[in-house]
Amino acid sequence: MSPLKTTVRDARTGPVLEISGDLDYVTASELRDLLTTVTLQPGQRLVLDLTGMECCDSSGISALIAARNHARTARADIALAAVPARTLRVLRIVGLDQVFPLHPDRDAATRP
């Protein structure tokens, strides 16, 4: 089990949250709490860079949906970057690949 580590960076399009480790039942609340501190302006894009994410269970998926809701409330966009294959499979099974814009990496997700 890897502890969750999140780093917030700024990009021209808006904040980028780099997520590493396990996003699961134990750690999903950490991401939700962090989201309350991320300020978004209308028209910005919140990017979740999942390059370092090792595991994502149903609680993690729920936290990703909470991030989407946070962005929508601020009238901002959201995008997922570098989604690991296992998580991508789950997103496809439950249809969330139709809800989240998916990008191969952070650079693609932060292009205006």
CATH architecture for the domain at 5-109: 2-Layer Sandwich (3.30)
Residue spans of beta strands (DSSP E) within 1-112: 5-11, 14-23, 45-56, 77-81, 102-103
Task: Write down the pLDDT at residue 88.
Answer: 95
Model pLDDT, residue 33: 97
Rounded to whole angstroms, how far apart are CA atoms 55 and 90?
11
What's the pTM?
0.95
Angle, nearest 10°, between helix axes 58-73 and 28-35? 10
pLDDT in tens, 11-34: 999 999 999 999 999 999 999 999
Instruction: Answer positive or negative: Cα dihedral of 36, 38, 42, 44.
Output: negative
Question: Can you tell me the distance from the alpha carbon of 99 to that of 5, in angstroms, rounded to the nearest whole number?
Answer: 25
